[in-house]
Structure 1
Amino acid sequence: MTFQFFQRFRNKDKEKEKEKGKDRQKDQPEEHPSQSDPRTILARVGIYHETCKQNGNSRDFKAMPLPPPRRPLTPPDQELATIRSRSNTLTAINTSTTNFLDLNNNSTLPQDQSLFFSRLPQEIRQRIYIELFGGRSVHLEYDFGYAPGYRRRDKRPPDQWRWWHRVCDEEDHPNPGDMCRMNDLEDPKRIGRRELSRHKLKGVAWLRVCRKAYLEALPLLYSTNTFLISSSVKLCRLPKMIAPSHLSRIASIDILHVAKATTPSTMSDQEWETYQTLFRTLRLAYVGVRRLRLVIHILNKSCTPRAGTVPEELDEAWIRPWSELASSRQWEKLEIGLQDSWFGDFSAAGRRWEAKNGRQLEDSGYSLVRVDDFTTWDGRLSEIWNAVYL
């Protein structure tokens, strides 16, 4: 009985502590759930350098880890001297009859004596490189998440920052916002790992064979492929992960920019900042791009009727980045894709802005393209609207 009596007091004390804890939680300001949501944080990480970290943790979604500084390319003479110094420890170099690789008698690197480089003309070698990993539409992103190819019930590795690419399934009409990403996350037992690997670039390991292979093939990898990027944030991350000498070789990009606003006049400050950063990055970082297709979607909230237009006071905010991008270089193709429901409004805004600057819309350097609406009015896109990170 005594034990039960004191046990009651202990239980009462625990209940009082719980009540006090609830009162403290009520007194403290509640934190908005979106502020602690990783998707909300990821929507800003990687755009600016203050959201990145040198030698950072690959499993920290609050700071994008930057690659280590690139060292200078080793001069051929120094590299040959290094190989010669290590050759004394290699016993498998010499065969029983002849010297397979006599480094002491070679004044140049052995790769220059390869039959592939000495017999095949450069034009033939370039065609081989393009057949291996060029001339395709490739989804590319550096993002925080888990590796594809795992079933839901399987134990997956922890989420971390990782590269992902996939050759687009739609050969005729590639789209950065298609379902290729979801296809890579399908059950490998059902689809098969061989099927998943079929959509990857083949032959990229050739770049690591030797110096000459690297110098010859790398420009074709960047210049002959069209890179599909599904958001502005992911586009702004790449200049911090890819060397400027490589990034400047990219010649063709297809981007999807989604603005979560009910109308073009209800953009938040964060949306406007991302919009301006997108075009500034395209002008200053992607200096080699000559073929660009940028699709802009106003992601209307589901069940919200279309209302309003592009007000004249926002012509400069919307259209001026287009004109600045068009005048930044000589373009082979510069298309601004606009969804069908807002195409007429943006076309009128473009004509007003270009007329103020003494130009016709047809002479602006960019062309407006009508694309299908990303949204519907039947409420089926509530999950997309509620998704913080696109």
Structure 2
Amino acid sequence: MRSLRTIAGSLLLAAIRPYGIAIIDWSMHRKMRRRQERKERWQAKGRATWNARLPPARSTEKDYLDVVGGGGVDVSTQQQSSFFTKLPLEIRRLIYAYALGGEQLQLEVVDEFIDEKMYEKAPFRLRCPSAQRLLAFPKSCKMVYEEAVQFIYTSNTFLIPNITAYFCLQRLLPTHSFQAIQSIHLNWAHPEAREMFDFLDGIPPYDVSSWNQTWQEISKMKGLKYVRVNMVIYAPDVKPAYEELLFSSLAAVQGVEKIEARVSWEEDGQPNEDRGRVWPFTVRTRLWGLKN
């Protein structure tokens, strides 16, 4: 038979246990709330830093050549040239398309430090040496430039190394030039995007918000006909829910003749009917070492 002391102790423990559990729950929720607040501040800081480093939107009055580091065209109009007097515009356009088209224009993002000790970075800059080379011809004559420069955008494929490069290009090009682009290859690869929570809780440009925003902007490109996206996740397979999150933004793009997604991961062994819906674009898997 238990003693009165034992019974009193049991009754006291039973009485205070709910309060102890409540205190523990309150402490855990407080820690979780603080952790969430720190994460949100970290994400907000990362987003603000990335956005601040993007170039300002360029006016439509600016010259096409600014985006690749060129200057304004200030040469003779060459109106006396037989090229203009004897060849009709339709023939000249065929020549421009042949001379300036069919290329892959590789964009490069210049990501530099202002102060490495303070981890302070300079604004992003965009380069495209292959476009600069092509522009040597239209820059030789003002009339050629006015007639031919559009073919830089309509007749070539822009190789975009990452989301940052896409938004730099969008901001640097005049709207009518950007809207004239017909073919793009976009790369998306980041070692920390292995798990879904890295993607959901990451910072730009490797987070779900930036991913969705990118495809919303791509869907607004009126002249776009072909899109290829290379997605590299450093894991052997990707769960269907993660795949759904990535592919849904592509499926929302309208008006593009062909979208092709090339992904690094393999199927995870689940039957196709268990992997979600059938996507309205081509998907190629197990493509490690993806290149343009």
In the superposition, the TM-score normalised over structure 2's length comes to 0.62
Equivalent in the alignment of 1:310: 239
Equivalent in the alignment of 1:209: 141
Query: How many residues end up aligned between the 2 structures?
Result: 224
Deviation at 1:292?
Answer: 0.9
Deviation at 1:207?
Answer: 4.0
Deviation at 1:296?
Answer: 0.7
Q: Any idea what the Cα deviations from partners look like across 1:273-326, whole Å, max 9, x if unmatched?
A: 222122122112x332111110111134xxxxx5x74144x564233212102x
CA distance in 1, matches of 2:96, 2:90: 10
The 3 A distance-change label for structure 1 pair 350 and 275 is farther
Equivalent in the alignment of 1:163: 126
CA distance in 2, matches of 1:227, 1:371: 24
Equivalent in the alignment of 2:67: none
Task: Name the SS for the 2:193 alignment partner.
Answer: coil
**Structure 1 letter corresponding to 2:151:** L
> Is the CA contact 1:141–1:163 (under 8 Å) kept in the aligned structure 2?
yes
Residue 329, structure 1, aligned to residue 264, structure 2: no
> Is the CA contact 2:58–2:174 (under 8 Å) kept in the aligned structure 1?
no
Q: Any idea what the Cα deviations from partners look like across 1:232-287, whole Å, max 9, x if unmatched?
A: 12112211111110001110111110142233465342322222122122112x33
Which stretch shifts more, 270-279 or 117-126? 117-126
Q: CA RMSD in A?
A: 3.9
The equivalent position to 2:189 in structure 1, one of 258, 261, 264, is: 258
Residue 45, structure 1, aligned to residue 56, structure 2: no
Task: Name the SS for the 1:248 alignment partner.
Answer: helix
The equivalent position to 1:229 in structure 2, one of 160, 164, 174, is: 160
Task: Name the SS for the 1:204 alignment partner.
Answer: coil
Q: 1 or 2 for the larger relative contact order (CA 8 Å, sep ≥6)?
A: 2
Residue 272, structure 1, aligned to residue 187, structure 2: no
Equivalent in the alignment of 2:263: 338
Q: Any idea what the Cα deviations from partners look like across 1:165-224, whole Å, max 9, x if unmatched?
A: 244xxxxxxxxxxxxxxxxxxxxxxxxxxxxxxx962443524622x4233212211111
Task: Name the SS for the 1:247 alignment partner.
Answer: helix
Identity %: 20
Where in structure 2 are the equivalents of 1:1-390 lying within 5 Å?
Answer: 45-46=50-51, 51=52, 63-66=53-56, 69-71=59-61, 112-145=79-112, 161-167=124-130, 201-204=133-136, 206-207=138-139, 209-210=141-142, 212-259=143-190, 260-264=192-196, 266-270=198-202, 271-284=207-220, 286-300=221-235, 306=236, 309-312=238-241, 314=242, 316-325=244-253, 328-331=254-257, 333-339=258-264, 342-345=265-268, 352-354=275-277, 361=278, 364-374=279-289
The 3 A distance-change label for structure 1 pair 349 and 239 is farther
CA distance in 2, matches of 1:296, 1:64: 23
Query: Runs of 5+ in structure 2 lacking a partner?
Result: 1-40, 64-75, 114-121
Query: Runs of 5+ in structure 1 lacking a partner?
Result: 1-34, 52-62, 74-108, 147-158, 168-198, 301-305, 355-360, 376-390
Deviation at 1:129?
Answer: 2.3
CA distance in 2, matches of 1:324, 1:203: 35
Query: Where does structure 1 differ by over 6 angstroms across 4 or more consecutive aligned residues?
Result: 40-43, 346-351
Task: Name the SS for the 1:254 alignment partner.
Answer: strand
Task: Name the SS for the 1:163 alignment partner.
Answer: strand
In the superposition, the TM-score normalised over structure 1's length comes to 0.48
